[in-house]
Chains A and B, each alone.
Chain A
């Protein structure tokens, strides 16, 4: 049992990373994904690389939930809510996505209004029952759902259920009697937090995904086992934790950003091995770029994800911002004569002009090709020959209109693409309240290494790391996941009426739920427990998260807790309001079990300067320069390369402009520096 296999099933490629425990070696490769059939790609990709008996376990990132939501191919959901509030998923929050855009169409919820049912029952804002649940009415609703064979799942979201789940639980139990076998999601179990639209939206999405995720998990397990792959399989959740396929099917909403979470986990591990405190990631592919952060060695989480603008999913997941910009982003000239890049993308077909598949628009990749940064002979390890002339012709069309040379235009395209990337990086850092100068950039994905040097130079970051196997970095991250359960619940208390015993009791309940869930996955020892409170000044609407001990109030008493909040507010926003009433809103816990992780293999140290494989003219901001080209596999630890230079490898290219330099660290990561 030598191998652990990480598999990241993407739209175009399925990426594999295999860790061989005996020799402590890592290998990575890609396999084309069969559209609509992820399992075949997995089986073909494994074939010949590792024998069945030697695989100890699989860690799989899946796009099943993401795709079902994007393509709107989930189940027909019936929605049950408090009388008077059927329209909450349609009314939403009343704001609109863009100003001044009269063509905007408000997003539709994942449920039809004809399938929404009102139930007589009501709780007040303290969680007290003011109208008891009308059970006869509920059974009538069940009968109507039963009469509609199209309905594949039920979502229940009742007002104030986060304070008292009695009615939701009763409703769930009655439906189980009346509609055996029909999946049900309750808002209390999915996301017990206040704000009914956000909770309803999340619960409906969970129900929407249940049938398709359950069947795909079963199918995946069955076919992998038929193909001889009997090793345990884990799927990766959006919080970067792993879980069993069966458990994932119970709360499929947790799989929404399964794939990209690998890049963040890998970055956390990268931060650990390279002893880097803060990393910001740039995971750039052909059509999109993911940005996330690792702060003080820890990945960061969010509960404000949206599947499209205005359709929120509020479960805790890795905070990953995706922008629609990548190597395929198209350069164009707007009505005022300004050069712009994106958001339109050439995608995979026709792709950039240099793909020679009929794409006429100059893209970011074309600009790299025009400038000689990407070699036409070494794209995807030489598997695809690029058409330089097509790239030049497309760039020339823009150059003529701008009155610039082709090279100048290509440089300008890359500069603007760089600014777009920085915009995404900044917005992530800004919302977290961070200063970019405290961060190191981790650039991966096929296109990340091509942009890293320009991004750090323009943004004022001194260092970027290009990890090994940047093209399969997400799959690599799956080798480093832990089993992890996040639990959260709203219970409001203020510094005036704080009840420490009640707070500690709730924390214990949440910890207990996490421990129980991990026990079902056979993790019961060496559990790590973290407890957090979301707090704010009373009246504020957004909380700061504070790590607290499970008993919440330490020996110094509640005063210490309130002072910790004032301090955190000052650190985050630059001011605090001493003496003000503080409110606790949400309690949350993370229970995790550390799994066996590979140790990062070390690279042999090289004493001599590395030898380039070739040289060519490459365009930079100040013109063309004769530039040495290195092959990454040739490089040894502690070697240094001064720009201008280029490092090529099978799935990516790292560019070192004049004035920057690169060193190879002991693990084979490339470390770019702007400061000479």
Chain B
């Protein structure tokens, strides 16, 4: 990272050639045009075939005392409960549906070394993304410049972030004038300017199309609003009132986190707190190492295809090679395709978060989620690839589309080591249908980020769940009664899609179908989704899931066409700024999940029940599951 001499902007983003990590300060080494962040990366680059390079161990900070296991349990419960409390307050006070219905946010606590010491279970992308994000920000912020009551805001995807809608707030906690910890809150602000309302510009080709970028800056200084920052932020969005409410709510959340953590420190003191946090991270690391040690050693590769990037009608390969060596994992995305022209690129934070997400799905869910848990997992994402976008490449859909796809190929790769723990691919898209327009009554601008659920993949012993949000998030779907009250659209149909679950011994879950009609105001629509030509993959003989679909019909007609047919777009799944007029309709279908295992081994009783419930049609039951199966 090379800043300008005045410190106001970045002149060059320096990244490690092996891991893709941003390098603050001097690189460890530069050789033959290769830049290394640390000794491990250099050694990895020069390793002999088959040679394993153990990851560097976090130096022991033990004070010689054995960890107090009971205190660890107590502090972990308390800190997770603080993070939950922050999240609940955020849910209750925020203004946009993506926060308060969608719960698209996460709250965490960090120590001054930039390690995440606890977080609450809200949005998984952000949980996995948080460690890099906190670490990057703390490298950039001069800790000595912090005062009590400061609040820092940041959304820069190239500096540890995920995508620009994701805004992160940090508030330092001081005890007796000493900086001890940070309360952190990250959440999705739906509308941040840029070329389309709602940020998801399917045709963005650079970051500037996607909205306003905010490097780490103080939005509050010593407890007082920095008016200039507020004015600048709110002048660059179509929905300043809503953004104001959401930003205030996030500040309320970090205020609460600092207050509550302060009470914990008052009770236990700094020394016990810091030692126990270190013990807790070591503990999570130990738990994760024990999980990985139980995976058979080996190199497991898996790949999948993203159908297009919205700009070029050509597929993009995403691939991972997972090396399980003893109690460590190296996940290398080197075989993935080059950086895309359209917005499907992942930042390093997204790729790391997706890898953690995939591994966490394959391991014990009870491990406390903190930075320690991710120490035995090394992510390698080549700079300038679809898995590690370089400035100023577009990336808004990387967090919602490419994240779940990467997490699913991690699960796919590990399925080769642990077949009974794996899941076939889920829908792995958030659907990301966004629209905006002028409110007919008040004249103010509205914007909506609408996400939809799809099918889970089949698992060993269980069918995929129907209509569940992709595993990068844990958002809730907006009720029709809320949606129609807030926006000038009518939902004509909201139903599950018959036969969309990939056939298998355990079938995939069903996708969702909605038909929306535009009421009395024209709206501008954009979308970033995928799986309209390539289905969610099955595993072990299971079949792919049903395809996703977006179709338009004008002014009450029954003639349906894709964005390509109707609006001359390159892609049917990623497009920007389509205008829909009153009485136009749009049909949105989400993908079903892939099947697990040979469909012919499916219990005939389950097939009969599926047919009786209408999840599978009699014809499909006969074709996919064989004679007699549909009773």
Contact = CB atoms under 8 A, between A and B. Distances in A.
B267 A460 contact: yes
Interface string B384-426: 0000000000000000000000000001000000000111000
Given A125-B485, A541-B101, 4 more contacts: A103-B461, A113-B615, A335-B291, A542-B93
Interface string A152-174: 00000001100000000000000
B290 A336 contact: yes
Given A194-B485, A335-B364, A540 B94 contact: yes
10 contacts: A84-B492, A84-B493, A87-B495, A94-B469, A94-B475, A95-B103, A95-B468, A125-B481, A195-B479, A335-B290
Interface in A404-430: 412, 415-416, 419-420, 422-423, 426-427, 430
Nearest to B493: A84
A196 B478 CA distance: 10
A136 to B, nearest CB: 21
Interface in B12-42: none
Given A84-B492, A87-B494, A542 B91 contact: yes
Nearest to B263: A460
Interface residues of A, number: 66
Contacts of B92: 540-542, 573
Contacts of B452: 94
B423 A580 contact: no
Interface string A347-380: 0000000000000000000000000000000000
A336 B492 CA distance: 52
Given A91-B453, A460-B267, A540 B93 contact: yes
B276 to A, nearest CB: 12
A91 B512 CA distance: 8
Contacts of B360: 99-100
Contacts of B244: 577
A92 B479 CA distance: 9
Interface in A493-537: 537
B578 interface: no
A19 B251 CA distance: 53
Contact of A426 (B70, B81, B481, B512): B81
A470 to B, nearest CB: 26
Interface in B147-174: none
B477 A339 contact: no
Contacts of B481: 125, 159-160, 194-196
Nearest to A569: B93
Contacts of B252: 573-575
A337 interface: yes
Contacts, number: 200
Interface of A: 84-88, 90-96, 98-106, 112-114, 124-125, 159-160, 194-198, 334-340, 402, 412, 415-416, 419-420, 422-423, 426-427, 430-431, 460, 492, 537-542, 569, 573-575, 577, 580
Nearest first, the 5 closest Cβ-Cβ pairs linking A and B are: A539-B95, A541-B100, A94-B453, A94-B477, A84-B493
Nearest to B71: A415
Contacts of A539: 95-96, 241-242, 245
Of the candidates A106, A415, A422, A539, the one having the most CB atoms from chain B within 10 angstroms of its own CB is A539
Nearest to A82: B480
Contacts of B468: 94-96, 106
A419 B73 contact: yes
A156 B59 CA distance: 63
B248 interface: yes
A426 B422 CA distance: 36
Interface in B441-472: 452-453, 459, 461-462, 465-469
B365 A98 contact: yes
Contact of A573 (B73, B93, B365): B93
Given A114-B612, A539-B242, A575-B248, A92 B467 contact: yes
B544 interface: no
A85 B514 CA distance: 10
Interface stretch (B82-90, B198-206, B324-332, B563-571): B82-90
Of the candidates A86, A100, A112, A412, the one having the most CB atoms from chain B within 10 angstroms of its own CB is A100
Contacts of A460: 267
Contact of A90 (B283, B422, B467, B612): B467
Contact residue range for chain B?
35 or more
B121 interface: yes
B462 A427 contact: no
B488 to A, nearest CB: 10
Contacts of B612: 114
Contacts of A96: 465, 468-469, 474
Interface in B283-312: 283-284, 286-287, 290-291
B186 interface: no
A416 B481 CA distance: 44
A656 to B, nearest CB: 22
A537 B69 contact: no
Interface string B509-524: 0001001000000000
A106 B465 contact: yes
A423 B465 CA distance: 30
B93 A84 contact: no
A654 B445 CA distance: 62
Of the candidates A125, A419, A431, A569, the one having the most CB atoms from chain B within 10 angstroms of its own CB is A125
A415 B256 CA distance: 26
A402 B244 CA distance: 52
Contacts of B127: 99
B89 to A, nearest CB: 6
Given A91-B512, A92-B467, A335-B287, A85 B480 contact: yes
B60 interface: no
Contact of B613 (A101, A114, A338, A577): A114
Nearest to B514: A84
Contact of A540 (B245, B267, B367): B245
A492 B485 contact: yes
Of the candidates B267, B290, B494, the one having the most CB atoms from chain A within 10 angstroms of its own CB is B494
B587 interface: no
B362 to A, nearest CB: 8
Contact of B73 (A85, A91, A339): A339
A95 B496 contact: no
Contacts of A104: 465
A63 B315 CA distance: 58
Contacts of B255: 574-575
B237 interface: no
Of the candidates B70, B72, B96, B121, the one having the most CB atoms from chain A within 10 angstroms of its own CB is B70
B490 interface: yes
A186 to B, nearest CB: 16
